């Protein structure tokens, strides 16, 4: 399974942008980059995913480096409800496996 590296924790202030980095230097051409987050006492929640181009949705933006060896999840204005563990996951859609391989993720703290 392709591996990702994320900082253990990050801190932000409410209403400020947050940039959550993820390194995936061994990414293959068919790996999609997925982001999930997990709020306390809840199951993981899908945030966004992409392959090569930057992606935007109502929750966040995903910026993917040109060489695809890193990506950044951008929360444009952090709220207290964004405090969660954020997981960056690679999924090979042609690899035949359906599983998501979670690391330890980045624990985001949002200060009021």
Partner 1 sequence: DTGVSQNPRHKITKRGQNVTFRCDPISEHNRLYWYRQTLGQGPEFLTYFQNEAQLEKSRLLSDRFSAERPKGSFSTLEIQRTEQGDSAMYLCASRQANQPQHFGDGTRLSIL
Least distance CB 15 / partner 1 (angstroms): 27
In whole angstroms, how close is the CB of 102 to partner 1 at the nearest point?
Answer: 3
Select 8 or 53, whichever has its Cβ closest to partner 1.
8
Q: Which is nearer to partner 1, 1 or 72 (CB)?
A: 1
Give residues in contact with partner 1 (CB under 8 A). Answer: 34, 41-46, 49, 85, 87, 97-105
Cα maximum dimension of the chain: 44
Provide the phi-psi class of 68: left if phi over 0, else alpha when psi is between -120 and 50, else beta: left
Q: CB of 37: closest distance to partner 1 in angstroms?
A: 11
Q: How many whole angstroms from its chain centre is CA 74?
A: 9
- Asked whether 102 and 42 are in contact (CB, 8 A), the reply is no
């Amino acid at each position: 399974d392709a591996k990702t590296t994320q900082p253990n924790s990050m801190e932000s202030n409410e209403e400020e942008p947050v940039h959550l980095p993820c390194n995936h230097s061994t990414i293959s051409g068919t790996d999609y980059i997925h982001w999930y987050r997990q709020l306390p006492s809840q199951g993981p929640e899908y945030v966004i995913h992409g392959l090569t181009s930057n992606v935007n949705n109502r929750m966040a933006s995903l910026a993917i480096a040109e060489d695809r060896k890193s990506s950044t999840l951008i929360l444009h204005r952090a709220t207290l409800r964004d405090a969660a563990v954020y997981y960056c996951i690679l999924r090979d859609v042609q690899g035949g496996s359906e599983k998501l391989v979670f690391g330890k993720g980045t624990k985001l703290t949002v200060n009021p």
